[in-house]
Amino acid sequence: MDNTTENPAPVPGAAPAVPAPSAALEKKRILIIDDEVSFARMVKMNLEKTGSFEVRVENRAAAALPAAREFRPDLVLLDVIMPNMDGGDVAKQIKRDRTLRGTPIVFLTATVSKREAGEGGFNSGGELFLAKPVSVEALIACINEHVRKPASPEQVQP
């Protein structure tokens, strides 16, 4: 007698099969480049707590480009004032790299006040700046506005 079946019955108590997540549900990859360890850690923790973000932190500006090449972020949160190399220099390195040049960069700075920057930050020279400290809500809104994850293959119409 053959004990094999083509469509076995579901096992009682077993969890139903879960479809693979689509690209729309993938976590957004955020690279934080900031020499203030406690600030970067707090931002990382708050973003990851939402379940929508995968976050990597780099506290040394000199290591930012290799970190970005390895991590391939969807967006970079970049401190403006850091020792040895400022955020503008780091941004230039990222923009010169052919694999990273399209990556959005949002500068974080304590050199302007929230009143000067406004709720959604301000643009200068085509770059977006957010004033430190920044609320988690404002940061998430900014990320969501500037990161567009590609549609999964099943969502693309031929």
50-85 pLDDT, tens per residue? 999 999 999 999 999 999 999 999 999 999 989 989
Q: Provide the pLDDT for residue 149.
A: 60
- Alpha-carbon gap, residue 27 to 29, rounded angstroms: 6
Q: Which two tokens stand for residue 77?
A: 């949160």
Name the CA radius of gyration of the chain, rounded.
21
Residue 8 has pLDDT above 90, yes or no: no
Report CA 105 to chain centroid distance, whole Å: 10
pTM exceeds 0.85 for this model: no
Q: Give the Å distances, CA to CA, from 145 to 28, 103, 109, 138, 142.
A: 12, 13, 19, 11, 5
CA nearest neighbour of 109 among 84, 127, 133, 74: 133
Q: Provide the pLDDT for residue 26.
A: 87
Mean pLDDT, residues 119-135 taken together: 64
β partners of residue 138: none
